[in-house]
Structure 1
């Protein structure tokens, strides 16, 4: 796994090596093993070191029009033959790539049949030669996770692309006369000449979901490339974004005749494909069904016991799955490490995590994910996870809630009104168990007046429309989050049959997978998700929702498929989220830090936010009148970003030369276009 960065001249101005190196160096945490930056010209005239590295003037003969930078985390083929930026065997192609390709062997054999000779064992070279042979048509043939930039000098064409489910990130922006791109916003802004203004639509979406979905970012000038999409740039034409994979086109596939057997074999094949590495490899083991299934199948595929890692929260029994994980470890025989987390450990992780997220991000489980990733990285370079299992097989509570939506709407209004009145007398508590059940029941009843898509949007919301308007009374609120959910249902079909596709297409890439990428890569740990194998996802979506979940249970099909694979105590256990109890801690050990960060002065810096509304929320939460834990954590993360990463970005975005005063122009590498 790696980090990539680069810039393409759109107006003929020469690319500056200081910009490319500043961007690349900002990604060293993603690729600590080695790095390189290269500038490529547009004609046969060589560019001499020291020429055109800082001037803003039209490019003459030999001036570079594109720069590519790469930071490498070595995983497969540790030799220099797999280093990047990588040049194609025929000379007409350059690639920088962040990811892993799981069907590299099949594609390598096909490309060898076309006469291509390979110089390494790396999947990077397979991606490079596939793009050279088939162009953008190669993208849907890739089974893997990736973000990439492919430059084809003969066509003067740049392709930026992301994997189909959004495991790897890619950002881009117009910076002066350049198209700049990078794995992270913190690297992108170091190109320089990039204005940064807060996007009010992104703020609304953040307050709605707790994350900012693509193509928005917190900055109006910066965009996320959506998953399953590619951007093509051919100056002087304007860059254009298109989708290469459409999940809606795969929903009508015929289901397998023996679903349990087919699902089990597809998951086993997905795990086996993700075991190739020339570095230490292990897995996360939470005690839940998905991670246990992955570890059990790893154990079946390998003779050597895998290393596994889990988290315990001794102080809060409901959130703690460590006892179940220990029981699983004893049965499967893994080499296990358990990391204990309390409020003090969580608080110590906050600066490390929130400073590296680049955008406001309110999923508090990022703190726990970072703790486990850091522990695993002491022994591993690659870890397998159970990410995606809940989305694909209907494990989340939202599936059961939406199953109940139609049933409850059929009840007389007097009955639901009575139930709502009774729940109003129950004090608001934090956490899971009965308190969590009451909170979820209130949310479910609140959504009964809405149609199905709107009810789904409400269930996803950290702050509903009324709460957002109370927090920003002078700012128009277009309920964009609801519109995005409704758009997904139009694409995937209305009603419960479209719900899993909506979850896979909206919160999965920009919440769950964004969290996994940023927390793991902050520790230079590659995480692979077998449940997101395309064949497995499409097979699961070919089966009716009723096969997978009901009002009372989730993952029904997956549980049947894993009988005899996963220990019975895991198959019988109820679903528990990978949660961090910030609701408890914000009114206790984290209260002083919250007060310091979420101050009136900082809130007033964020356009439109009313500090008195935020103070009311905190008071209600502390008095247990309302459970505002998620919303308060969202405000905390927003204010932390405002105080920290935003100011860092603004300082970095002005001039790349300030980033690298000590970098000599002779350090840049220049090539003639005739050589690449």
Structure 2
């Protein structure tokens, strides 16, 4: 786990200003890797690397790393967990190794097999920059579901890339113009954080992206995406029994956790009162007897600490509570926005930063979490709601409706299969507006629904398509949150549910194994019954709840903030907007968060100064 940065010169050779910019980029992301740093350059390309040493902590494993011949160089952020198996294959083909780390395996796989063959074999989370000096090609890649970030900017003379936008902004004279369209999309509750930057001149390599850069420019491709990986025949021809699927999922879980527990440093888990983090905690304890767990314990509103204690006792794991109150909220909120490079629309982002900071203070570098299970296995209530609109026009209920009405609903539903509004009077106006604002997500539901056309049940098809959609949208936002908040504290956050075999298994499960008799994540919960208290497994889903009282009063910072100017609020409407933010916690988090973003990145205020302003605005001690 690390931070990477680099500059590619298109025409003229690298100069001292380029090397100075790489140094500035590294300083901007030193939090991602404070243990070591290194640089490499030739006439055209410069690499910089900040290391967080986790697997093989010796200096032999430092980056940038070169193959023995010197004609291939790598900088790499993340972990490739199947590196032992890949190393064995490479050794059988005559490749020798000098270290025990995964970085050397990744480098030699890229150099020996080529990126197009090697990268789909990697099982893990990664952002990669690799140059093949035999051909002069520079390759940039990002893992399948975008756990690790990678930002890119292109000018007339250079291509710059780094783990975070702020590294690019640190380059001398870099264009810091904020994209107002992105502000509008985020305020409209669009999930944008994983693949899109708020800065007009910055692009992010998409999840599963594989880019090749040479003298003619950037060739952009995708080596994997969810919709392309789904073989519908596997879903409709799945006649496996409950017991068979139960055993398969349990084996996959243990296999993935074994991989994710590989580390030469301390490991802990984030353990809430839910099933996902609970089963990760229990199974990880078997692999790492020294494992302990953390839970955020809010001082206001609902806390999951008591439920987490039940799971921790069942696992024999020490549970450490991380208190979180208004003081921490206002102290950490600007830091959260700074690291997230976005508005951070939910208080859970701030709480996660507090948890990561406690991990680091305790000497923990690796934290396991249960993210991804809801999207893969159908655990969200809104996923089930997507199917209800299809029941009246599905057999046998369709016999009760006129054929003309059924045809109309099928037409509208086919265009927007998840929205409960497609049968209503405003559907024709709402859907075009949403698609125009965000076409890459706006047309995706129809593509997914059409791709799953062989699934006979319309409600099953909508449910399964919705789960795949959430991998693009909802999960992308959560994974971006996880990376930014954990790395802000120099902690590597690992997600065992997001593992290649686990993803493939979940994508091809029929609906009956995801949602049955009103129970979401049905199969996963059945597996968890062996490990997690049933009271936690079947409790009502609450998510990472943070009380709105923690942020109350912060909306007053909007009075003289830059957001009102960017959005051109009439002076007479400012009071109304602040009143909206006071009454609606979601609006408060969005608006105040975006105002903090503009203050930090456009007006260059400090996080400390903004914390003081939040305390003052809210009247907090």
TM-score range, shorter chain: 0.7 to 0.9
User: Does residue 79 of the first structure (1) align with residue 58 of the second (2)?
Assistant: yes
Partner Cα distance (1:391, 1:477) in 2: 22
Q: Which has the higher contact order (CA 8 A, sep 6+)?
A: 1
- How do residues 52-451 of structure 1 correspond to structure 2 at under 5 angstroms? 64-136=43-115, 137-209=117-189, 211-213=191-193, 215-235=195-215, 237-252=216-231, 253=234, 255=238, 258-302=244-288, 304-316=289-301, 319-379=302-362, 380-407=364-391, 451=413
Q: Report which stretch shifted further, 545-554 or 533-542.
A: 545-554
Gaps in structure 1 of 5+ consecutive residues: 41-63, 413-446, 469-475, 651-676
Partner Cα distance (1:181, 1:458) in 2: 41
| 2:619 counterpart residue number | none
Residue 495 of structure 1: how far off its partner (Å): 2.2
Residue 329 of structure 1: how far off its partner (Å): 1.6
TM normalised by structure 1 equals 0.78
Q: Report which stretch shifted further, 330-339 or 355-364.
A: 355-364
Q: Secondary structure at the match of 1:149?
A: strand
Partner Cα distance (1:125, 1:186) in 2: 28
Partner Cα distance (1:323, 1:69) in 2: 45
Residue 343 of structure 1: how far off its partner (Å): 2.2
Q: Secondary structure at the match of 2:175?
A: coil
- How do residues 497-508 of structure 1 correspond to structure 2 at under 5 angstroms? 497-508=464-475
| 2:612 counterpart residue number | none
| 1:2 counterpart residue number | 2
Q: Is the 8 A contact 1:162 1:230 kept in 2?
A: yes
| 1:435 counterpart residue number | none
Q: Report which stretch shifted further, 240-249 or 525-534.
A: 240-249
Gaps in structure 2 of 5+ consecutive residues: 398-408, 453-460, 607-621
Q: Report which stretch shifted further, 357-366 or 529-538.
A: 357-366
| 2:537 counterpart residue number | 571
Residue 465 of structure 1: how far off its partner (Å): 12
| 1:640 counterpart residue number | 596
Q: Is the 8 A contact 1:399 1:549 kept in 2?
A: no
Q: Per-residue displacement from partner, 1:147-197 (whole Å, max 9, x unpaired)?
A: 010011121100010000111000000134010000001111222343232
User: Does residue 480 of the first structure (1) align with residue 437 of the second (2)?
Assistant: yes
Residue 611 of structure 1: how far off its partner (Å): 6.2
Partner Cα distance (2:428, 2:593) in 1: 21
User: Does residue 544 of the first structure (1) align with residue 510 of the second (2)?
Assistant: yes
Partner Cα distance (2:344, 2:420) in 1: 18
Partner Cα distance (1:649, 1:174) in 2: 27
Q: Is the 8 A contact 2:213 2:219 kept in 1?
A: yes
TM normalised by structure 2 equals 0.85
- How do residues 582-593 of structure 1 correspond to structure 2 at under 5 angstroms? 582=548, 584-586=549-551, 590-591=552-553, 593=554
Q: Would the alpha carbon gap of residues 223 and 565 (structure 1) be closer, same or farther in structure 2, given more than 3 Å must change?
A: same
| 1:669 counterpart residue number | none
Residue 383 of structure 1: how far off its partner (Å): 1.0
Q: Is the 8 A contact 1:213 1:506 kept in 2?
A: no
Which of the residues 516, 519, 526 maps onto 2:482?
A: 516
| 1:594 counterpart residue number | 555
Q: Is the 8 A contact 1:6 1:180 kept in 2?
A: yes
Q: Per-residue displacement from partner, 1:511-558 (whole Å, max 9, x unpaired)?
A: 100000000000000011110011111111211223212583311111
Q: Secondary structure at the match of 1:226?
A: coil
Q: Would the alpha carbon gap of residues 251 and 77 (structure 1) be closer, same or farther in structure 2, given more than 3 Å must change?
A: same
Q: Secondary structure at the match of 1:3?
A: strand
Q: Would the alpha carbon gap of residues 457 and 645 (structure 1) be closer, same or farther in structure 2, given more than 3 Å must change?
A: farther
Q: Would the alpha carbon gap of residues 454 and 114 (structure 1) be closer, same or farther in structure 2, given more than 3 Å must change?
A: same
Q: Is the 8 A contact 1:617 1:632 kept in 2?
A: no
Partner Cα distance (1:451, 1:467) in 2: 14
Q: Secondary structure at the match of 2:29?
A: coil
Residue 601 of structure 1: how far off its partner (Å): 4.9
| 2:32 counterpart residue number | 30
